[in-house]
Structure 1
Amino acid sequence: MFISQSKIDDLIASDGAFLDLTTELLQDFVDLNAPARLSIVTRQDLIFSGGQIAREVAARFGCETQHLAREGSAFCAGEEIFSAQGSFESLHKAWKIVQIVFEYSCKISTYAHEMVALMREANPRCVLGATRKSFPFAKELCVNALIAGGGSMHRLGLHDSVLFFSNHIRAFASFSEFCAQIAKFKERAPERKIMIEVASEREFSELLKYAPDAIMCDKMSPGELRACVLRRDETAPQIKICAAGGINKNNCAEFAATGADVLVSSAVWNQGVCDLSGKIEFI
């Protein structure tokens, strides 16, 4: 995952732009330049992610990363997930930035991993697609964590896919009038898949006649979604079905079992943080 140096610098500036006042007060009692080691340990089972950002932050403070796991690695409670060496002063500057990156990133990757496992047990072909509702100013961290957990991005942004929502469709006199233009949309963007959101079985059935590439069923119950999948299988099996609206770890298996191809969810972004601890010791 490419992360620009300016993004790393902005992250550092948000916490360590000036000086570490607390550590500076120790200068008459402690050699701030003495070599030390930072260790980040998890207090819970997790799926690791965020290592690239952590390594870059440590390096900017002149610290050398010693232990860095592969993205997507599984750790048990009590295990070390990251370590770095540097001066006592520098490690204190890097410590909380690194730990906070891991706390948020690993929570996303862990939750995504748990959702994917539940979905695949119910439907091995079903894919987790996260919405673009990730944290503002942190898309690189969020997307990297999601992928480490086995998920994928439903949409990275407006630029990467075609998805007509109800707000687009209302620009037409009727749903039928909109559907009649789908062939023209395909002509204007022949290399793109055309996806359209529907909110009812009636709209779904009408839309099938116009053969979009994918249909996103919004806020349907598992029963309604299953009915749509069966109708698709009978008439247009090439069309992909995405399900969206309130899907999370508690209900993803039920939605996956309907036969949907993709479950679209924002739940991975709002699960809080992992429980980690950091220790700095002289070496």
Structure 2
Amino acid sequence: MTRLSDSLLDHLLLQDVPFGDLTTDSLGIGERPASITYSARNPMMLCGSEEAARMLEMKGALVEHLIPSGRLLAEGEPFLVATGNAEALHAVWKISQTLVEYLSGIATRTRRIVDAAHRIAPETVIACTRKNFPGTKEASTRAVRAGGGMMHRLGLSETILVFPEHRTFIAEPAALWIAALKARAPEKKIVVEVDKLADAEELMSCGIDVIQLEKFSPEDTARAVEIARRHSPMPAVAVAGGVTEDNVGAYVEAGCRLIVTSSPFFGKPCDVKVVLRPRRTEQAET
């Protein structure tokens, strides 16, 4: 996976240390040789370790140990060790720790949904929506991928997804506007979201590529999958709205192999332990 850009990481550092570290400077300890070690307090799917390492390098530190994103860590397992002067390590310490904690939280929740789905059907795809906190798309996308998921759509410019809020403006029959969409964008798949089973049946008969079921029960999802199987080619069936680690299995058992979810974005960060200490002397632990 491609890590976040230097420009974004530099922006994060400037937000946290815009005019130097007043505490470290005032104590006069900035030039002392130091080391920093990051480890998982609890089992977690790691994400953001490369970004933390790069921020350390940008401040002149030397990375001595690094486990890449996408690895499941055991409790207490170190994933990043670096050395440098105290000024550099203190400047990066908290912003990098927080970034890894938030990204690993998203990655861990994504992985749990992936695992729950794959226990039933390994071919199931978990796709996360664009409901990440605004301004964090690059980081959130990286975390979803580290957890084994993919992005449902990255933005409005990327895919054709017709919502009921679009269809309310359309007076002509579905077959006509779907044919018009296919003619205008022949290289794109036509995805339509519905919140009623009757609408799903009608739209699938018009040749759409993907039917997206919004807040359907597992029982209605199974009915929609059965309707889709009557068509050739069979439209893909995606279920969205309210899918979590706890209920994803029921949707997979209903025959759905494309799960659309926002739930990985909402939850607690993981907990990362950081030990920053003078080299070969006493340590300060957070």
What is the match of residue 44 of structure 1? Answer: 42
- 1:47 Cα deviation after fit: 1.0
Q: Distance in 2 between matches of 1:274 and 1:99?
A: 10
Taking only the aligned residue pairs, the percentage that are identical comes to 32
- 1:58 Cα deviation after fit: 1.1
Distance 1:42 1:2, change over 3 A: closer
RMSD: 1.4
- 1:9 Cα deviation after fit: 1.7
What is the match of residue 58 of structure 1? Answer: 56
Quick check: 2:3–2:142 contact (8 Å CA) kept in 1?
no
**Secondary structure at 1:215's aligned position in 2?**
strand
TM-score, normalising length: structure 1? 0.94
Higher alpha-carbon deviation: 62-71 or 238-247:
62-71
Q: Distance in 2 between matches of 1:183 and 1:18?
A: 58
- 1:223 Cα deviation after fit: 0.3
Q: How does 1:1-283 map onto structure 2 within 5 Å?
A: 1=2, 3-27=4-28, 31-173=29-171, 177-236=173-232, 238-283=234-279
Quick check: 1:122–1:254 contact (8 Å CA) kept in 2?
no
Quick check: 1:126–1:259 contact (8 Å CA) kept in 2?
no
| Structure 2: tracts of 5 or more residues without a match | 280-286
- 1:261 Cα deviation after fit: 2.3
- 1:178 Cα deviation after fit: 3.5
The aligned amino acid for 2:16 is D
Quick check: 2:211–2:237 contact (8 Å CA) kept in 1?
yes
1:39-67: CA deviation from partner (whole Å, max 9, x where unpaired): 11111101111123212211221112222
- 1:108 Cα deviation after fit: 0.9
1:14-63: CA deviation from partner (whole Å, max 9, x where unpaired): 11111222222321xxx421221111111110111112321221122111
**Secondary structure at 1:150's aligned position in 2?**
coil
Quick check: 1:216–1:244 contact (8 Å CA) kept in 2?
yes
**Secondary structure at 2:154's aligned position in 1?**
coil
Quick check: 1:36–1:91 contact (8 Å CA) kept in 2?
yes
Quick check: 1:34–1:88 contact (8 Å CA) kept in 2?
yes
The aligned amino acid for 2:238 is C
Q: Distance in 1 between matches of 2:64 and 2:167?
A: 54
Q: Distance in 1 between matches of 2:232 and 2:62?
A: 56
- 1:173 Cα deviation after fit: 2.5
Q: Distance in 1 between matches of 2:149 and 2:15?
A: 29
Quick check: 1:208–1:236 contact (8 Å CA) kept in 2?
no
What is the match of residue 284 of structure 2? Answer: none
- 1:2 Cα deviation after fit: 5.4
- 1:237 Cα deviation after fit: 5.2
- 1:123 Cα deviation after fit: 2.1
Distance 1:187 1:262, change over 3 A: same
| Structure 1: tracts of 5 or more residues without a match | none
Q: Distance in 2 between matches of 1:272 and 1:183?
A: 45
The aligned amino acid for 2:234 is Q
